[in-house]
Chain A
């Protein structure tokens, strides 16, 4: 043993031995290490081959993508008036700016997401169907991304500014999209496409989160009225499908409201989605709260913190950290579930797909439209789950 170490290689002892098995070795070790794994490997490769071959041939030869190309604006923003679209571009530019800044300052996940965003912009610049105007705005956005990436770290107080920016981005976007009389008002029934999908899901997620925390705390409250109200709300909402909540919001709500008061459809759907998600968020948060050992509460009390301080500094941060995966999962699922609003008549991205497929010009090209919609959902949902996985790692979830 000793002689081995003395006479052995002069590699630094701290580095592990390099793997020397090579590609063939890896294949043998992982895919063909015994007869049934070998059979499974061969079967999987065959299935993959035929599935991919069929799909890819269809995508590149048979499919006619003009249904997407011709209606691209509809898919993105619905009926939003053309002369006001600059407002959406402006909102997007703000998002690009913030992504660029974040990527420059924190790198990591922010950088990866910014690269994806840049890729999406580039693809659309190169695509034949986008207008000159669109290409110009996309170019501006790319420039913003790059410039803010490089200048971000040099701005004084860059972290505070960027975080503040993210918080303000949301109200600013809503203001830009709606106008609220300062800019010409764009009525909500003109909102559509991916824009509407994103607005509904962001509103639902952003508001459901604090409401969910309150519901979770209310559920553990010592006051019976609050506790029972929260339990009733959470269990009621969790017991019914989203689509019924949406129908209730669309059909029942007007019956309860006094004559003359009208809440527009989009707002109703937003409220419905928010309340729906908040019940699930509440359960996630409660799970996190239950995972905190009693010793943490006692230590907080023993050093003299009052219940609010103990919740804010000790319990909630740990509880939320423990359930980030569940919360992001819930957010992704809300984002995808917004597709149900098409059924109650809103023109979200799926609603647009359904609307254009009934145009006789595009007869028999439903597949293309749906595939495009699916791709859009996937890119966004996957980015979210990717970001959350990285966040978990950074925060060291599971390590105590």
Chain B
């Protein structure tokens, strides 16, 4: 099914990273990372702790600056120009491990804020879309509550709805279920699966192997700031080539 989806989108590249390098002080965190992602592809990023997964996906919407290399998102080159960064952020939704909802605003306000102020949508339109999105993530009745009144799983689904409200071309997930109690993980993963099936381009950092196997079109394995192996879930899980991949998989599976 996902094969067909990729074809449909004409193999158009949406992310193109070329020899990306990033240092924190003297610590070389990303080393010549090159990666292209096609429209509609679901990419799962795996790797041990500290291998640079978060740093990498945060470079894609400009939350981390890179020192060398280039990143192009949907034709816009991510430079130091504020205009370009803001343009890319409009096209890119991000979901964080800690949800990062705005605690002083209702759920509805959380979701409509950016469409109203960044996309300049009329308030009524934005609210209508927001309610539809809440329906889609399964919590239509929570619109007028505050984030603090929701469970973790519900908050994370709101965070997904908030990102979707900007109608992004691309969604980034940084360990979206790691801060959740086990019984809430499934409800968030289900929303993500539905999103993947709808054809959204997704980059997902996660430790949920079941999700990776089932949903990913391609898996990318990071270690010490480098991509050491990539391929379909079958290739990677059943037939890993690299020693470090085998080691990593033996530790988590």
Chain A interface residues toward B at CB < 8 A: 295-296, 298-306, 309, 313-314, 317-318, 321, 399-400
Contact = CB atoms under 8 A, between A and B. Distances in A.
B61 A318 contact: no
Contacts of B90: 304
Contact of A400 (B103, B113, B114): B103
A298 B114 contact: no
Contacts of B61: 301-302
A309 B96 contact: no
A306 B118 CA distance: 8
B96 A306 contact: no
A296 B100 contact: yes
Contacts of A304: 86, 89-90, 114, 118, 166
Given A317-B104, A318-B103, A318-B104, A303 B118 contact: yes
Given A303-B118, A304-B86, A305-B118, A296 B102 contact: yes
A400 B147 CA distance: 8
Given A296-B102, A298-B63, A303-B166, A313 B117 contact: yes
A303 B89 contact: yes
A299 B89 contact: no
13 contacts: A295-B98, A298-B63, A298-B100, A301-B62, A302-B63, A302-B96, A303-B166, A304-B86, A304-B118, A309-B118, A313-B102, A317-B104, A400-B148
Nearest to B89: A304
Contact of B86 (A298, A299, A306, A400): A306
A319 to B, nearest CB: 10
A394 to B, nearest CB: 13
A317 B89 CA distance: 23
Interface string B168-198: 0000000000000000000000000000000
A303 B115 CA distance: 9
**Chain B: interface residue count, which band?**
20 to 34
A226 to B, nearest CB: 18
B186 to A, nearest CB: 24
A221 to B, nearest CB: 16
A303 B114 contact: yes
B47 interface: no
B93 to A, nearest CB: 7
A400 B92 CA distance: 27
B166 to A, nearest CB: 6
Contacts of B202: none
Contacts of B92: 302
Given A304-B90, A305-B114, 7 more contacts: A302-B92, A303-B118, A303-B162, A303-B166, A306-B86, A313-B113, A313-B117
A306 B166 CA distance: 14
Contacts of B42: none
A298 B166 contact: no
Contacts of B103: 318, 400
B20 interface: no
Q: Which 10 residue pairs spanning A and B have beta carbons closest together? A: A299-B100, A303-B114, A302-B94, A295-B100, A304-B118, A304-B89, A304-B90, A400-B103, A304-B114, A295-B98
Contacts of A298: 63, 96, 100
A303 B63 CA distance: 11
A393 to B, nearest CB: 15
A314 B102 CA distance: 7
A302 B104 contact: no
Given A295-B98, A313-B113, A301 B104 contact: no
Contact of B101 (A299, A301, A306, A309): A299
Contacts of A400: 103, 148
A301 B65 CA distance: 14
A382 to B, nearest CB: 29
Contact of B104 (A300, A305, A321): A321
Contacts of B94: 299, 302
A303 B113 contact: yes
Nearest to A300: B102
A344 B104 CA distance: 45
B118 to A, nearest CB: 4
Contacts of A313: 102, 113, 117
B102 A309 contact: no
B160 interface: no
B15 interface: no
B163 interface: yes
Contacts of A399: 148
A320 to B, nearest CB: 10
Contacts of B98: 295
B221 to A, nearest CB: 25
Interface string B80-120: 00000010011011101010111110000000011001100
Contact of A303 (B62, B148, B163): B163
Given A295-B100, A318-B104, A302 B93 contact: yes
Contacts of B163: 302-303
Q: For B62, B89, B101, B104, which residue has the most chain A Cβ atoms within 10 angstroms?
A: B104
Contacts of A303: 89, 93, 113-114, 118, 162-163, 166
Interface string B36-67: 00000000000000000000000001110000
Contacts of A309: 117-118
B89 A302 contact: yes
Contact of A299 (B62, B102, B117, B148): B102
Nearest to B103: A400
Contacts of A295: 96, 98, 100
Contacts of A317: 104
Contacts of A302: 61, 63, 89, 92-94, 96, 163
A202 to B, nearest CB: 28
